[in-house]
Every structure is written in structure tokens, then in C-alpha cells.
């Protein structure tokens, strides 16, 4: 082997070693939470609604203290105020599996929607309410 061929052979091996290191470092840092759950939840739940809202007693001020400002305020056919709350929750589960040459990441997610619709009487007291929940 001449000097030119020897240097080329060494450069080729060095380049291959550097590429291998980059690939291994890239695979080991790609974890997506490594099995942890990332959960974003709302304080607006069916249990809280059922325990805190009493038809004919709960006022608009109490509702605001519990849930904050509504997403939408409208009036129904009887000219009573109707407040709508909508909350979304996203649940993501991520993880990684270790293989012979690195790790493989996986992610799954689901969404939940919670809608609360409150109708008030002419004295701003809860007249009626309904809850709609969906998961997808």
C-alpha cells in the first residue's frame, strides 16, 4: 500500500467511526418522554359540576368563582342568559423501546371534550344546566 492509499484508508475508517457515533448519539437522545405520561387536565369536571351547581340556588357570581368566565354567553328564546363552557384535555403517552442498535420512540394520544351549558333565570340564578362529554 502506498502513502496515498494508506491515508485514504485511515480517512475512510475515521469518517465511518464519526458517522457511527453520530447515529448512536442521535438514537439514544430520541426518547419522547420515555414512558412518562404528559397530561393536561381542566378543573371543570362532572363531579365538581354536580356537587357545586344547585338549580334554583347557585348564582352567576358563584359560577364565575368556580369556573371563571364562560367561553360563550347567549340568550335563549325566553331571553334568559345561557353560558357555555368548553374544556379540552389532551392525554399523551410516550415511550421508547431499546433495540440492538438504539431505541425506537412511540407516542399515543387521546383527547377529551367537556361542555357545560348553564341557563339562568331573570334573577341570574341557575335555572338548568347540562353536561356533554366526548372522548376521541
Residue 106 belongs to domain with CATH number: 3.30.1450
Q: 130 and 71, same structural domain?
A: yes
Residue 125 near residue 59, CB atoms below 8 Å: yes
Percent of the chain predicted with pLDDT > 70: 61
pLDDT band at residue 91 under the 50/70/90 scheme: confident
Question: In angstroms, how far apart are the furthest CA atoms of the chain?
Answer: 99
Number of domains in the chain: 2
Q: Which domain holds residue 8?
A: 1-30
Look at residues 1, 116, 119 and name the one whose alpha carbon lies nearest to residue 56.
Answer: 119
Looking at residue 112, what is its pLDDT?
83
Looking at residue 44, what is its pLDDT?
78
DSSP label at residue 59: B
Q: 90 and 48, same structural domain?
A: yes
pLDDT band at residue 83 under the 50/70/90 scheme: very high
pLDDT at 41 over 70: no
Q: 84 and 71, same structural domain?
A: yes
Q: 100 and 66, same structural domain?
A: yes
Q: 47 and 18, same structural domain?
A: no
Amino acid at each position: 500500500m502506498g502513502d496515498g492509499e494508506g491515508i485514504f484508508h485511515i480517512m475512510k475508517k475515521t469518517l465511518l467511526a464519526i458517522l457511527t457515533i453520530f447515529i448512536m448519539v442521535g438514537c439514544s437522545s430520541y426518547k419522547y418522554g420515555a414512558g412518562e405520561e404528559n397530561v393536561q387536565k381542566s378543573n371543570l369536571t362532572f363531579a365538581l359540576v354536580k356537587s357545586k351547581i344547585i338549580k334554583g340556588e347557585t348564582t352567576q357570581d358563584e359560577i364565575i368563582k368556580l369556573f371563571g368566565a364562560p367561553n360563550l354567553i347567549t340568550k335563549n328564546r325566553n331571553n334568559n342568559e345561557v353560558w357555555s363552557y368548553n374544556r379540552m384535555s389532551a392525554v399523551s403517552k410516550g415511550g421508547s423501546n431499546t433495540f440492538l442498535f438504539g431505541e425506537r420512540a412511540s407516542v399515543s394520544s387521546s383527547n377529551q371534550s367537556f361542555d357545560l351549558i348553564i341557563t339562568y333565570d331573570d334573577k341570574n340564578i341557575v335555572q338548568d344546566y347540562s353536561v356533554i362529554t366526548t372522548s376521541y
